[in-house]
Amino acid sequence: MWKWLHPYAKTENAYALCNTLLPWFWAGTCVFLSVGVVWGLVFAPQDYQQFESVRIIYIHVPSAILSMGAYVAMAVAALVGIVWQWRTAFMTMIAIAPVGAVVTFVALFTGAAWGKPMWGTWWIWDARLTSELILLFLYIGVIALYGVFDDKQQAGKAAGVMALVGVVNVPIIHYSVVWWNTLHQGASISKVDKPDVADPMLWPLLICLAGFAFFIAAVSTVRLKSEIVRREMHRPWVQKLVSNDGVSSDAI
């Protein structure tokens, strides 16, 4: 069932796959992000009690959801790396980590900027905000741990274990607003029921979510490509790639 995945354990095949996917990721980013952001920030209606401030939702909610999504993706890569010992899996893990960290920071920052006018405070140590902050620390921990080792396969294993252990935080973030009472409101769209966002606001929000997802995928893919090239610098196929690139850029 998973046989088709096996070739991508080889860096060369993974690199080729990145090249195939990347244009689609960028295309998705351009279309969804531009439509979603313009629709959300300019044309979507204002909220009945938050007025224009509600527009932060179009950045805050996608970045918050995808900070967890990116973490899960990173953890899956870590699992594959640890169990199947794929080098490309650890490369994927470390390619995603800084992207996820930045997205988490964006979620925290926009949340603070939204909290000040609406709640009356930038920050409060409630369960949702605190667990999201821990997510940022987990990302930073994975990056730092990976950086400590000179042997990158060893580094991948160590950071991978940390990434896997940290997965426990993801359901905590999601259910924090259910299990405990918090200042942060409950989930609006990531739940089984019909979302509590009116349709004219929900559509741009979902489009922004897709745009952010494509953007994160695109940036992670670019990072994965450069990680593969950096690690495989001395391999013949990379040497060939570099010399080919040299020729083509000379031609231009």
Partner 1 sequence: MNPRRKQRLAAVGIVGVLVFGAIGLMLYALNDSIDLFYTPSEIIEGKQGQIPQVGQRLRIGGMVVEGSVNRDSQTLDVSFDLIDTGPIVTVEYNGVLPDLFREGQGIVATGVLVSPTKIRAQQVLAKHDEEYMPPELAEKMKGIKHVKPSDVDTYGNGGN
Distance CA 70, CA 87 (A): 19
DSSP secondary structure string, 68-104?
A: HHHHHHHHHHHHHHHHH--HHHHHHHHHHHHHHHHHH
Which DSSP letter does residue 196 get?
S
How many amino acids of this chain bind partner 1 (CB under 8 A)?
41
**For residues 167 and 222, which CB has a smaller minimum distance to partner 1 in the complex?**
167
Q: What's the min distance (Å) between Cβ of 172 and partner 1?
A: 7
Angstrom CA distances, 47 to 52, 77, 138, 184, 239, stand at 7, 39, 34, 17, 56
Sign of CA dihedral 184, 190, 196, 202: positive
Q: What's the min distance (Å) between Cβ of 46 and partner 1?
A: 7
Q: Which of residues 82-101 bind partner 1 (CB under 8 A)?
A: 82-84
Q: Which of these ranges, 9-17, 25-33, 100-108, 123-131, lies near partner 1 under the rule CB under 8 A?
A: 123-131
**Binding to partner 1 by residue 180, rule CB under 8 A?**
yes
**For residues 168 and 247, which CB has a smaller minimum distance to partner 1 in the complex?**
168
Contacts with partner 1, 192-231, as mask; x by CB under 8 A = ----xxx-xx------------------------------
**Binding to partner 1 by residue 122, rule CB under 8 A?**
no
**Binding to partner 1 by residue 4, rule CB under 8 A?**
no
Distance CA 193, CA 133 (A): 27
Place of tokens 């299990």: 179
Contact yes or no for 79/114 (Cβ under 8 A): no
**Binding to partner 1 by residue 179, rule CB under 8 A?**
yes
Q: Which of residues 20-59 bind partner 1 (CB under 8 A)?
A: 45-51, 54, 57
Cβ-count burial of 35 within 10 angstroms (0-12 exposed, 13-18 middle, 19+ buried)? middle
Binding site for partner 1 (CB under 8 A): 45-51, 54, 57, 79, 82-84, 117-121, 124-127, 164-165, 167-168, 172, 179-183, 185-188, 196-198, 200-201
